[in-house]
Amino acid sequence: MRIPLLTLFRKSPFEDLKTHAHKVKECTWMFRRAIECYIDKACEEYEYLAKEVSRLENEADAIKRNIRGHLPKGVIMPVDKFQIFMYLREQDRVLDAVEDALDWLTFRLTDIPKEVEKDLLSLVDKDIEAIGLLGPMLDAANAYFRYNDEKDRERVKELIREIRQKEHEADQIEKKMKKTIFNLNIEPVSICHFNHVLDKIGEIADHAENAGDMMRAMMAK
State if pTM tops 0.75: yes
Which residues in the chain come in under a pLDDT of 70?
1-11, 42, 72-78, 221
Give domain limits for the chain: 9-219
- pLDDT at position 11: 64
For position 43, what pLDDT does the model report? Answer: 78
CA atoms within 13 A on the CB side of 56: 25
- Give the chain's end-to-end CA distance (angstroms, integer): 11
Q: Which CATH number fits domain 9-219: 1.10.238.10, 1.20.58.220, 1.10.940.10, 2.60.40.10?
A: 1.20.58.220
pLDDT reported for residue 70? 76
- The predicted-structure confidence for 89-102, as pLDDT tens digits, reads as follows 999 999 999 999 99
Q: What distance in Å separates the CA atoms of residue 48 and residue 57, rounded to the nearest whole number?
A: 14
Question: Rg (Cα) of the chain, in Å, rounded?
Answer: 19
User: What pLDDT, on a 0 to 100 scale, did the predictor assign at position 3?
Assistant: 47
Q: What percent of the chain has pLDDT over 90?
A: 73
Quick check: 30 and 95 in contact, CB under 8 A?
Answer: no
The one-letter amino acid at 138:
L
